[in-house]
Amino acid sequence: MKADVLITGISQLVTAQGAGPKHGRTMRELKIVGQAAIAISAGGIVWTGRESEWKGQAKAIIQAGGRAVVPGLIDPHTHAVWAGDRLADFEARTSGSTYEEILAAGGGIRSTIRATAAASHDDLLALAKPRIDSLIASGATTIEVKSGYGFTPAAELAMLEAIQSLSAISPARIIPTLLIHIPPPIAAERSSYLSQLCEELIPEVARRNLATAVDIFVEKEAWQVAEAEELFHRAKQHDLAIKLHSDQFHCIGGLELGIRLGALSVDHLEASGPEQIVKIAASSTIATILPGVSLHLGIPSTPGRKLVDAGAAVAVGTDLNPGSSPLFSISEALALSVRLNGLTVEEALVAGTVNAACALGIKDAGRLEAGCPADFLVLQSSDWRDLVYTLGANPIRDVWIGGKKVR
């Protein structure tokens, strides 16, 4: 066997095995190889195993120096493109102002929508690039980025165009999602906006290949189940996958709708109860938990332990956004999922790799196996568990994407 690069001196090579989501107990089944090596050719993994068993030839040999290697992490949920900031909201909230008072003072999500609409393409790109760089430094090799701060089809398209440009200049694999976030504030405009989305925006996004999925925020104060269903049917007609923000504050049937329509993932689930847990555990939909939101807003944590014990396939994301989760590190999100959601260290790694890939509809990612892209991380430590143990310092030394060291 011939390889472009052989990485040797790996203290532990750690990965989930086999394509497809890992449910329940299987989230704890990792393969750990000691004194390991990885052979890379044309950007992909061609061989992994014990260093002593490598029989091929490599053009270059790189020493990992006795450090652990894990798959590149996948952040399946971010809102990394926005303008403006929510610092005044943060100060007001932490000084005792209510959500209504913050909204009345011109803050909240609508301030982000105004600032994002006012920003140029280049401004949005310049603002988002360092956020993506932070996520890469934290171990993310694939990053989902949503629109959703537009308020008109044109503003959503502008966000998706910024995400497309971001993808062109970033070494990470960027997966774009059209997020239909919140309805217009004036009730009378709701149904005409809905038909604009169905008749203009979704077909245009599909035609221009600007997103792979449509995500909808289903909540008492956002879109209702019947409205989401109409939007999702239109998305499916255009071969777009579907995802939901649901059960964040109330269970109004979003999770059930997602499961019924074969959503890739239902994200949030802080308010999900036993009924919802049983339903998602029995489905093929990924349960994505976002611990940064619970930490930042002080809302209850998603019952991660109960979801895994019930047999669900759980993923973890940062939900990077200015209002509810200013979390710029995917490895920190995994570390938080162990503390706040009760995942084990093994489950956290699976939630941030192979299951997160499935939440984005990607088959061959999040694993260190022949045939997968050579996306992996060399940790600072010889023990992979440092990845989810460490808080506040970066446990990652090198980031490789497509067989190239990008950091």
CB closest to Zn ion, residue no: 319
In angstroms, give the least distance from the CB of 245 to Zn ion.
5
| Shorter beta-carbon distance to Zn ion: residue 156 or 319 | 319
How, if at all, do strands 173-180 and 213-218 pair? parallel
Whole-number Cα distances in Å, 387 to 24, 155, 234: 21, 38, 41
CA dist 60 and 47 (Å) reads 15
| Shorter beta-carbon distance to Zn ion: residue 319 or 375 | 319
CA dist 329 and 184 (Å) reads 32
| Shorter beta-carbon distance to Zn ion: residue 75 or 319 | 319
Q: Select from 145, 149, 163, 357 the least CA-distant residue to 265.
A: 357
| Shorter beta-carbon distance to Zn ion: residue 165 or 325 | 325
In angstroms, give the least distance from the CB of 75 to Zn ion.
11
| Shorter beta-carbon distance to Zn ion: residue 322 or 373 | 322
DSSP 318: -
CA dist 204 and 202 (Å) reads 5
Element (H, E) at 156: helix 153-169
Spatial contact of 37 and 91, defined as CB atoms under 8 Å apart: no
CA dist 193 and 166 (Å) reads 28
Residue 371: phi and psi, rounded to 5, are 100, -15
Q: How many CB atoms lie under 10 A from the CB of residue 140?
A: 34
In angstroms, give the least distance from the CB of 254 to Zn ion.
13
- Counting beta carbons within 10 angstroms of the beta carbon of residue 293, is it exposed (0 to 12), middle (13 to 18) or buried (19 or more)? buried
| Shorter beta-carbon distance to Zn ion: residue 319 or 386 | 319
In angstroms, give the least distance from the CB of 367 to Zn ion.
26
| Shorter beta-carbon distance to Zn ion: residue 138 or 324 | 324
In sequence order, the 6+-apart residues with CB closer than 8 A to the CB of 180 are 148, 156, 197, 214, 215, 216, 217, 223, 231
In angstroms, give the least distance from the CB of 320 to Zn ion.
9
Task: Give the torsion sign (CA, 332, 335, 339, 340).
Answer: positive
In angstroms, give the least distance from the CB of 269 to Zn ion.
12
Angle (nearest 5°) at CA 382 between 380 and 383: 105
| Shorter beta-carbon distance to Zn ion: residue 227 or 319 | 319
Q: Select from 265, 283, 267 the least CA-distant residue to 275.
A: 283
In angstroms, give the least distance from the CB of 387 to Zn ion.
23
In angstroms, give the least distance from the CB of 46 to Zn ion.
37
In angstroms, give the least distance from the CB of 30 to Zn ion.
28
How, if at all, do strands 396-401 and 404-405 pair? antiparallel
| Shorter beta-carbon distance to Zn ion: residue 144 or 256 | 144
Q: Select from 407, 372, 404, 380 the least CA-distant residue to 71.
A: 372
Q: Select from 370, 359, 392 the least CA-distant residue to 73.
A: 359
| Shorter beta-carbon distance to Zn ion: residue 217 or 376 | 217
In angstroms, give the least distance from the CB of 321 to Zn ion.
6
Chain residues binding Zn ion by CB under 5 A are 319
